Structure 1
Amino acid sequence: MPESPAYSPANAAPRWSLMRQRWSNLLFAHWAVEPALLRPYLPERLELDLFEGQAWLGVVPFTMSHIRPLGLPAVPGLSALHELNVRTYARLDGVPGVWFLSLDATQPLGVWAARTLFHLPYLHARMQLTRTGPTLQATAERTHRGAPAATFAAAWTPGDALPLAEAGSLAYFLTERYHLYTAGPTVQPGQHGNSIWRGRLWHAPWQLRTATLQHWNSTVVESHGLPTRPGPPLLHAADALDVWVEDLRRV
């Protein structure tokens, strides 16, 4: 299966997609992790995607808005949510993608749809993401019945624009991902089903920025039974962009 087509002015958006969204107020926070620590969180068929022999674990808060499924207009009250996901990276048949350990979100109907129709491990949460001057603040509290408790609070200031990430660089590996994998809505390692779905996304390249962290207090990684990550994360803030969900297929 080929990669999603690269962005170009002549290829400004897919002709058809399952859903359109806009992602904004986004922070990529990553830690290098020993592969053996994350391997149990993936189904056997999925290969853990490594950068120079190292696995990476990410925590990503952002706002999703302008949500429009199947070419329909946005529905007031249902077209925006805040999200906080915990992720690593995987590949199947040579196709790299994102593997989500969990996705906490604020829109109950959106959580239901993502779990039911897209087989993704979305969880109900209370979350706020606000801006004071140049600084963004995000807070979250998981409220999903039966899921491990988790809280999150962070503040960061986006800085200077970075050059577009080049293929082969760590920034590209961590952010330029045009596929996702899921095996159902469970967040418990070792309890995934045999079915794997691969979703394909399309968007222009990320305009990444430096970021300065003012505050970080989180238990979302620990809620998965993983140890607290030592040291500060590698940070990339990102400008808003439009995203098209092109398809979701069982593989």
Structure 2
Amino acid sequence: MPYIHKFLELNVRTYVKYKNIPGIYFFSLDAAKILPVLGARLGALPYYKAKMKESDINGWTEYYSRRQIKTDEETYFKGRYKQISKPEFPASGTLDYWLFERYYLFNTVNGNIIRVGIHHLPWKPAKAAVTYEKDALNSLLPGTLQGETVKAHYVEVLDVIFWLPELIKVHKKDS
């Protein structure tokens, strides 16, 4: 499917465990094409359509994303990155291995926890240098980022297969 095969995307996430199962929790995902956004929203992921640009300038990749939704405040990201090491598979037991070897996505919908299984080949990350506008990044977060990013990676595109979302816990609502 040529239209949805390749598109710019930006995700803001954290790393979680549920019942000792490591996974990723997405605060948000922005994408430049509407079909992947609609499909992901059906799968309970917090995707948003965004106007996005990527360009290479003096060895850096400049990246910009602005959500195309009407809110009181602009939600956007503006930053740049560059690869600063050769890619290599993370060694088992390292922080990088812990960060990359995740095969579940978690989300909450109406107080329920949703789990989505994923499959991909092992990631082969390189170290990266990153600079960004802190106010822009904070516009994507549910709170405010304090301090500076201490660890950044660059990875080549990797195909990922998703399973259907699964309801794994229901929170009872108080009366």
Change (3 A) 1:95 1:228: closer
Deviations 1:72-97 (A, max 9, x none): xx1x3333321111111222222111
Q: How does 1:201-240 map to 2 (within 5 A)?
A: 201-213=118-130, 215-218=131-134, 219-240=136-157
Shift of 1:119: 0.8
Decide which of 38, 42, 46 is 1:121's aligned counterpart.
46
Take 1:128 and 1:143, find their aligned partners in 2: how far apart are those partners?
13
What's the TM-score once normalised by structure 1's chain length?
0.60
Shift of 1:102: 0.8
Are the aligned partners of 1:136 and 1:157 in contact in 2 as well (CA < 8 Å)? yes
Give the count of matched residue pairs. Answer: 167
Asked if residue 104 in structure 1 is aligned to residue 21 in structure 2, the reply is no
Secondary structure of the 1:199 match is: strand
Whichever residue aligns with residue 226 of structure 1, its letter is: G
Shift of 1:248: 2.4
Are the aligned partners of 2:74 and 2:139 in contact in 1 as well (CA < 8 Å)? no
Where does residue 172 of structure 2 map in the other structure? none
Deviation larger for 159-168 or 85-94: 159-168
Where does residue 71 of structure 1 map in the other structure? none
Shift of 1:208: 1.0
Change (3 A) 1:147 1:179: farther
Q: Once the two structures are aligned, what percentage of the paired residues are identical?
A: 27
Whichever residue aligns with residue 111 of structure 1, its letter is: V
Where does residue 199 of structure 1 map in the other structure? 116
Decide which of 141, 155, 166 is 1:249's aligned counterpart.
166
Gaps of 5+ in 1: 1-73, 185-192
Runs of 4+ in 1 over 6 A off after TM superposition: none
What's the TM-score once normalised by structure 2's chain length?
0.82
Secondary structure of the 1:241 match is: coil
Take 1:244 and 1:147, find their aligned partners in 2: how far apart are those partners?
36
Gaps of 5+ in 2: 169-175
Whichever residue aligns with residue 155 of structure 2, its letter is: A
Deviations 1:30-82 (A, max 9, x none): xxxxxxxxxxxxxxxxxxxxxxxxxxxxxxxxxxxxxxxxxxxx1x3333321
Whichever residue aligns with residue 9 of structure 2, its letter is: E
